[in-house]
Amino acid sequence: QVQLVESGGGLVQPGGSLRLSCAASWRMIGILAMGWYRQAPGKQRELVASMTSRGSTNYHDSVKGRFTISRDNAKNTLYLQMNSLKPEDTGVYYCNYSPPTDRYWGQGTQVTVSA
């Protein structure tokens, strides 16, 4: 059974950084487009960063210049480097295919940006 396990979240002050990881239980990283999604309190889940199988990236306007998506195919792991974090970046972060597949939603990892 394929699983995606997110980790790396936490509490950080505004302006701080975090690096999220998404470990796949099966060789799926780099095969199809994948993305990082964010669900803020009271809001719908949204795509914040994606990467195609060829390595092209795309970012939500709100995170451009601050977040970087990357992957390590050998480790079956997707990453999201988040710098200059803002309170509005608070939420639960998930990884999934882009567009997403319902059965691959994991537990996510909580990111809280607060002073």
User: How high is the pLDDT of residue 56?
Assistant: 97
Q: Which of 13, 63, 14, 55 is nearest to 38 (CA)?
A: 63
User: Residue 104 — very low, low, confident or very high, per pLDDT cuts 50/70/90?
Assistant: very high
Contact 67, 59 (CB under 8 A): yes
User: How high is the pLDDT of residue 31?
Assistant: 86
Contact 50, 60 (CB under 8 A): no
What pLDDT, in 10s, does the model give residues 61-71?
Answer: 999 999 999 99
- Written in H, E and C, the secondary structure of 32-96 is ECEEEEEECCCCCCEEEEEECCCCCEEECCCCCCCEEEEEEHHHCEEEEEECCCCHHHCEEEEEE
User: How high is the pLDDT of residue 90?
Assistant: 98
Contact 11, 59 (CB under 8 A): no
User: Residue 92 — very low, low, confident or very high, per pLDDT cuts 50/70/90?
Assistant: very high
